Amino acid sequence: MQVPSVVKVGSTVHLACRFDLEGANLYSLTWWRGADQFYQFSPSSADPVIVYHSPGIIVDKAESEGEVVVLHNVSHATSGKYKCEVLEDYPSFQKDSQLKVMEVVDEPRSPPNLSLSKQLWSPGEELKANCTSPWARPLPELHWYINNVKIPSHNSILVPQRGRGRGVGLSRTSRLTLVLRKSHFIDAGRATLKCDATYKSVYHRSAEVHLITPWYKTAAPSQRLYGSAVTVVAGVWLAAAALVPLLL
């Protein structure tokens, strides 16, 4: 069986059931999702392809035949445990089947949102930050990094939030608490905090922000005088923190 384990909502999916009858003839090949049969191929019948109604499954009958079944516009209702069953023709009528699970996911439509309790930081202070992934089904995993080094999970807690309506999905917020050390500010008084939102092989997006110390000297004068700027680079939100003039 060739069934993808994870697919996105709205995708077209090709399911394949490969078999070798070792010289015998095929009587029927049937596909099931749970207890519902949704497809049957019987090469010796007058109508070799029969499609049965099953919620969430849209079979392209014209494109499906033999070992391959094509599903259009998959949704969360398409998720489930799929079975392909092969039955030999007379005289043996031997039967064999396999099972595989397919999950349909609705990925977040934007990167996670990373927010801080303030913008200037010094070693010894306790950093507080939130990372919120937009609504999705199922919820992505959220992980924190500082200077590309993963922060232990005990430094953060997950706060699930209700969706905007039934069936709309959920959002998730991770709250980070971390005591900053001098070794964190490896870039002449600047550190990089990042939050990753991931779900299996389907979704991976990040948000990152720079943590600035009062003695950080490499920022452009316009940043020191006029505050912050926010840009989008390669799908990742980068927040440049506002800096105050240095008093000499």
126: domain CATH number? 2.60.40.10
Flag whether pLDDT at 121 surpasses 50.
yes
Q: Is residue 247 part of a domain?
A: no
**Whether residue 82 sits in one domain with residue 174:** no
- In the block, which residue shows the tokens 């912050």? 228
Q: What is the pLDDT confidence band of residue 227, given thresholds at 50, 70 and 90?
A: very low
pLDDT score at 169: 58
Q: Is residue 65 part of a domain?
A: yes
pLDDT digit string (tens) for 135-174?
A: 888 889 999 999 999 999 999 999 866 555 444 557 899 9
pLDDT digit string (tens) for 66-76?
A: 899 999 999 99
**Interatomic CA distance for residues 140 and 67, integer angstroms:** 34
Number of helices followed by number of strands (H, E) in the chain:
1, 18
Of the residues 71, 86, 105, the one at which a domain ends: 105
Q: What is the pLDDT confidence band of residue 187, given thresholds at 50, 70 and 90?
A: confident
**Whether residue 32 sits in one domain with residue 84:** yes
**Whether residue 118 sits in one domain with residue 235:** yes
**Whether residue 82 sits in one domain with residue 153:** no
Of the residues 71, 105, 139, the one at which a domain ends: 105
Q: Is residue 248 part of a domain?
A: no
Flag whether pLDDT at 178 surpasses 90.
yes
**Whether residue 50 sits in one domain with residue 99:** yes
Q: Is residue 148 part of a domain?
A: yes
Q: Is residue 245 part of a domain?
A: no
**Whether residue 117 sits in one domain with residue 228:** yes
The angle at the Cα of 76, spanning 56 to 12, to the nearest 5 degrees, equals: 70
Q: Is residue 97 part of a domain?
A: yes
**Whether residue 138 sits in one domain with residue 193:** yes
**Whether residue 59 sits in one domain with residue 14:** yes
Mean residue pLDDT of the chain comes to 84
**Whether residue 10 sits in one domain with residue 86:** yes
Of the residues 105, 130, 151, the one at which a domain ends: 105
**Whether residue 146 sits in one domain with residue 96:** no
Q: Is residue 194 part of a domain?
A: yes
- Summarize the confidence of residues 183-187 as an average pLDDT: 90
**Whether residue 86 sits in one domain with residue 39:** yes
**Whether residue 149 sits in one domain with residue 87:** no
Reference 61, options 90, 41, 36, 79; nearest CA is 41
Structure tokens at 125: 């202070």
Q: Is residue 46 part of a domain?
A: yes
Split into its structural domains, the chain has a count of 2
Residue-number span of the structural domain to which 228 is assigned: 113-240
**Interatomic CA distance for residues 170 and 139, integer angstroms:** 7
